[in-house]
Amino acid sequence: MRQSSGGSRRSPPCRCRPKRQKRSFEALAAPLYRRNGRTGSGWTLVALDQAPRWSTSHIRKFETIQDIFGVIKGSEEPDRYVILGNHRDAWTYGAVDPNSGTASLLDIVRRLGIMLQSGWRPRRSIILCSWDAEEFGMIGSTEWVEENLADLHSKAVAYLNVDCAVQGVGFFAGSTPQLDKLLVDVTRQVKDPDVTGKMVHDTWSEMNGGISIERLARTDSDFAPFLHHAGIPSVDLYYGNEFPGYHTALDSYSWMEKHGDPLFLRHLAITEIWGLLALHLADDPVLPFDYQVYAKQLQEHTNALSALMSNSQAVNLMNGFINDLSGAAMEVLKEGKKLQQLDLYDENARMRRRLLNDRLLLAERSFLQAEGLQGRGWFKHLLYSPPEDYESKLSFFPGIADAISRSGNLSAEEREASIQHEVWKVSRAIQRAASVLRGEFSRQNDPSNFSSLVTP
Ligand SMILES: [Zn+2]
């Protein structure tokens, strides 16, 4: 569904929809999820308009929604947040969507409780979130992110989302690329729920002929406001991607017990992967972010874009900035390794780790553009926001994707100029990330500076 005015956000249903139904479902359900475009605290009017085959009455009413939070204060860096979230509202019985995820979240809470009782405290704060009103367009999570944006910008380490933990067979994961390595490492430590003697990593890799991690340009679960609006590194985890009972009365405990996860071992696997991710992010002295992987992924995106654009000169110029990011990422990795060897309790070492961690934490924010995407200002992430056109061949660089899809009636020259303008924005964002990783201001006089080669 589309929003025609700038500044508003799309409001799709949650992620658990089988992927092949995406377009037809959204076309059918679009009027059901329209919000009045209101943001901030207080009342929000949600319109459930009349929709063929979905509703026969027009309902407009105020409802109170309740997000629920559990906070474990960090012992050393209480002002750094590792955030885990799952929604709690369901269309019907919701055994899959969202209660499979809620069961996992509650099991993590139980396990963390045991650890706390044994005397453990996380280094950084862990925030556990149960979102309300996700099915109406991620209202609970979005309102919270918008209200706490300044704090989240400066203090959030990562957001780890699980919506439908289990809706079938096979492990699936999405993340921002700096978290890939941690995600893969963690799946090596968790037993596969379906094949005795194997780890999740083994079957995940065999299923796809290699590890496959999705990029989170979708807008159908609560990671959307965290990543697309706030630029917080994010993860999304689930088992199975084809659930025939999606948003119907078949989404029941009986289906889960008979078909979805008879031994509830897939639930357990998600719980363990989710929990281990959180523990590493909350406790590792140096944040386990790998920006070299990010640079590699950006290079792949740029190669794909270059092929699509027949080797446009503007696109090719992005390579230099990606190389610069890769170089900065390598320096940061080396620095991190050195700092890991220093005494854990030495004050000076602590401060040096904190300075490095701040650069790692803030680098993702460099990919945000303050005014947002053209005509869709709420989406601020220049690498991973949804493209305006669902038919777009690009699931990354949304501003460039929009410029391509809007260029149908333009002359060749105008088309190239509008795309070039968006390429310039992405390039500057990559340049900003490299500067943030190095802890430097941007180098405007550098002869390789993109702005000197391409006029925006
Ligand atoms: Zn859901």
Band (pLDDT 50/70/90 cuts) for residue 40 is very low
Q: Residue 258 C-alpha to ligand 1 middle, in angstroms?
A: 20
Q: Residue 155 C-alpha to ligand 1 middle, in angstroms?
A: 27
The confidence score (pLDDT) of residue 132 equals 97
The confidence score (pLDDT) of residue 391 equals 85
Across 179-202, average pLDDT: 98
Q: Residue 222 C-alpha to ligand 1 middle, in angstroms?
A: 9
pLDDT beyond 90 at 52: no
Residues linked to residue 70 through DSSP beta bridges, in sequence order = 128
Across 356-370, average pLDDT: 98
Q: Residue 140 C-alpha to ligand 1 middle, in angstroms?
A: 13
DSSP symbol at 166 = E
Q: Are strands 171-175 and 156-166 parallel, antiparallel or unpaired?
A: unpaired
Who wins on pLDDT, 257 or 7?
257
Average pLDDT, the chain: 87
- Whose structure tokens read 């995600």? 183
Tokens encoding 190: 């968790």
Across 252-261, average pLDDT: 96
pLDDT beyond 80 at 348: yes
Q: Any idea which of 40-44, 92-96, 356-360, 420-424 has the lowest mean pLDDT?
A: 40-44
Band (pLDDT 50/70/90 cuts) for residue 10 is very low
pLDDT digits (tens, 9 = 90+) for 275-288: 999 999 999 999 99
Q: Residue 101 C-alpha to ligand 1 middle, in angstroms?
A: 9
pLDDT digits (tens, 9 = 90+) for 229-248: 999 999 999 999 989 899 99
Across 85-108, average pLDDT: 97
The confidence score (pLDDT) of residue 60 equals 83
CA distances (Å), origin 448, targets 299, 432, 452, 454: 17, 14, 8, 11
Tokens encoding 103: 């069961």
Residues linked to residue 68 through DSSP beta bridges, in sequence order = 130
Across 70-91, average pLDDT: 98
- Count CB-CB contacts under 10 A for residue 53: 6
Whole-number CA gyration radius for the chain: 22
Across 329-339, average pLDDT: 97
Q: Residue 69 C-alpha to ligand 1 middle, in angstroms?
A: 18
The confidence score (pLDDT) of residue 167 equals 96
Q: Residue 16 C-alpha to ligand 1 middle, in angstroms?
A: 6
pLDDT beyond 90 at 23: no
- Angle at Cα 298 formed by Cα 377 and Cα 410, nearest 5°? 50
The confidence score (pLDDT) of residue 313 equals 77
Distance between CA atoms of residues 224 and 14, nearest Å: 11
Across 201-212, average pLDDT: 96
Residues linked to residue 281 through DSSP beta bridges, in sequence order = none
The confidence score (pLDDT) of residue 47 equals 52
Q: Residue 169 C-alpha to ligand 1 middle, in angstroms?
A: 17
Q: Are strands 68-72 and 124-131 parallel, antiparallel or unpaired?
A: antiparallel
Distance between CA atoms of residues 103 and 109, nearest Å: 10
- Backbone phi and psi for residue 454, each to the nearest 5 degrees, phi listed first: -130, 120
Across 403-426, average pLDDT: 92
> Taking a C-beta distance cutoff of 8 angstroms, is the pair 90, 98 a contact?
yes
Who wins on pLDDT, 29 or 92?
92
The confidence score (pLDDT) of residue 57 equals 60
pLDDT beyond 60 at 202: yes
Across 56-60, average pLDDT: 68
Band (pLDDT 50/70/90 cuts) for residue 54 is low
pLDDT digits (tens, 9 = 90+) for 292-317: 999 999 999 999 999 888 767 778 88
Band (pLDDT 50/70/90 cuts) for residue 344 is confident
134 flagged as catalytic:
yes
Torsion angle defined by CA atoms of residues 8, 148, 134 and 26, in that order, rounded to the nearest 10 degrees? 20
> Taking a C-beta distance cutoff of 8 angstroms, is the pair 166, 256 a contact?
yes
Band (pLDDT 50/70/90 cuts) for residue 441 is confident
Report the percent of the chain where pLDDT is more than 90: 76
Q: Residue 186 C-alpha to ligand 1 middle, in angstroms?
A: 24
Marked catalytic residue, from 26, 77, 134, 388: 134
For every residue of 289-329, which 3-state class applies, written as one string?
A: CCHHHHHHHHHHHHHHHHHHCCCCHHHHHHHHHHHHHHHHH
CA distances (Å), origin 34, targets 23, 86, 237, 288, 349: 17, 22, 27, 39, 51
pLDDT beyond 50 at 29: no
Band (pLDDT 50/70/90 cuts) for residue 38 is very low
Q: Residue 207 C-alpha to ligand 1 middle, in angstroms?
A: 24
Who wins on pLDDT, 50 or 131?
131
- Angle, helices 291-308 vs 313-340, to 10°: value is 170
Distance between CA atoms of residues 233 and 239, nearest Å: 21
- Whose structure tokens read 């000197």? 452
Give the type of residue at 195. V
pLDDT beyond 80 at 21: no
Distance between CA atoms of residues 42 and 53, nearest Å: 32
Band (pLDDT 50/70/90 cuts) for residue 5 is very low
pLDDT beyond 50 at 8: no
Distance between CA atoms of residues 377 and 388, nearest Å: 12
Q: Residue 135 C-alpha to ligand 1 middle, in angstroms?
A: 7
Residues linked to residue 258 through DSSP beta bridges, in sequence order = none
Buried b vs exposed e over 274-284: b needs ≥16 C-beta within 10 Å? bbbbbbbbbbb
The confidence score (pLDDT) of residue 43 equals 54
> Taking a C-beta distance cutoff of 8 angstroms, is the pair 349, 339 a contact?
yes
Distance between CA atoms of residues 83 and 70, nearest Å: 10
Residues linked to residue 46 through DSSP beta bridges, in sequence order = 35, 61
